[in-house]
Structure 1
Amino acid sequence: MNMKGGVHIWLIRHGETEWSKSGQHTGTTDIPLTDDGRKQAAALAPVLASQTFDLVLTSPMGRAIETCRLAGLGDRAQVEPELHEWNYGIYEGRKTADIRAEVPDWSVWTSPIPEGENLADVGRRAQALIDKLLDTKAMNIALFSHAHFSRVFGAQWATGAPGLGAHLVMDTAAMSVLGFEREVRAIVKWNLVG
């Protein structure tokens, strides 16, 4: 693997949707941005315009693609299937509190996800994408994705332990930057809102 100390990976979460607003797990359902979500996405544009990106990738979900477009990078973006959100299986569209009424102490981070992905699955997907990105010549990369996947990606980048993502909060339309402290992978900035 090519360990390039100058690499910066910008993780950008999509803007607000009705389900992110209500706390429903939104993985495979393609929910559009709300009006506020579109405003949040547009507010990213000035910050991202100050950067020169070698590579812009987006999740295949409409909410990420629209956020990328409104943030001013849609014309350069390529769809990257691995950026899709965690597949919540039978818990898709449900709130944690509702799930816990049936499965006490349930957590996406530690519990089985029937018909979906578990933490190890998402961690492997994040690591495969990290390896792919480090094998490119790109030094400044923008990734438009989702909260849980981005949290796992950040954790996997920094520690190789995807469970650290449970401790990394990521708001809608938030930006985080991953890079290096000398030769060590690091979280440079986390959960910045435009």
Structure 2
Amino acid sequence: MRELTVIRHGETAWSRTGQHAGRTDLPLTEAGEAAARALAPRLAERKFTAIFTSPLARAVRTGELAGLSGVEPDADLIEWDYGRYEGLTAEQIQQLRPGWELWRDGVDGGEDLDRVTARVDAFLGRVRPLLEAGDVAVVAHGHLSRILTARWLGLDASAARQFGHPHPGTINTLGYEQDVPVVLGWNVP
């Protein structure tokens, strides 16, 4: 069976400070650009049947700098819409809503977890047949990648809380062992 390579975009000013960046279209920092370039040699060893990216600039630019060509933007890969929590850190949200936990409580005025899950499931439904022909790559975001991983494994999307946050500019690899979906690599620079 083939592999689904999930690349987290490089660092942005908000990922450096821990701010929730959903739909805000932030550029990569210099460090984010360097991390994306550093992925190129590792990805050059791979032949992908298809490559998809979130349409946000930070993901598109990461794909370009990582040397990926023929990348197709897919709106289902855009990050979670954090609503009123956009731009806030978890600590700031805790001040507004003591005891808040993203995976349990969701966001205020944004997208609920069921909606994000529906987008991820739709994307996986389109990608799984492509994996029969070869490996597929995705350039996306932190929380979206965690939900994608949970759904790949057949878990409830809330199980995404059990995966460490993918670091900016890293590779996460999903695949199969004896026809069972598995995580083959996580946070690989």
Partner of 1:90: 84
Partner of 1:80: 74
Checking the alignment, whether the CA contact within 8 Å between 1:55 and 1:138 is kept in structure 2 is no
Q: Does 1:103 align with 2:97?
A: yes
* TM-score, length-scaled by structure 1: 0.93
1:10 to 5, 11, 36: 5
1: CA distance, partners of 2:63 / 2:70: 9
Q: Does 1:186 align with 2:186?
A: no
Structure 1 stretches lacking a partner, 5+ long: 1-5
2: CA distance, partners of 1:86 / 1:117: 7
Q: Does 1:32 align with 2:27?
A: yes
Residue 135 of structure 1 deviates from its aligned partner by 2.7
| Identity of matched residues, % | 36
* TM-score, length-scaled by structure 2: 0.95
Counterparts of residues 1-194 of structure 1 (less than 5 Å): 6-73=1-68, 75-136=69-130, 137-169=132-164, 170-193=166-189
Residue 156 of structure 1 deviates from its aligned partner by 0.9
Bigger CA drift: 135-144 or 87-96?
A: 135-144
Residue 77 of structure 1 deviates from its aligned partner by 0.4
Bigger CA drift: 120-129 or 98-107?
A: 120-129
Residue 164 of structure 1 deviates from its aligned partner by 1.8
Amino acid corresponding to residue 161 of structure 1 in structure 2: D
Runs of 4+ in 1 over 4 A off after TM superposition: none
Aligned residues: 187
Q: Secondary structure at the match of 1:159?
A: coil
1:129-181 CA-partner distances (Å, limit 9, x unpaired): 11111133542001000000001100110133111211212100110111111
Checking the alignment, whether the CA contact within 8 Å between 1:112 and 1:118 is kept in structure 2 is yes
2: CA distance, partners of 1:157 / 1:92: 27
Structure 2 stretches lacking a partner, 5+ long: none
Residue 126 of structure 1 deviates from its aligned partner by 1.1
Q: CA RMSD in A?
A: 1.1
1: CA distance, partners of 2:162 / 2:84: 24
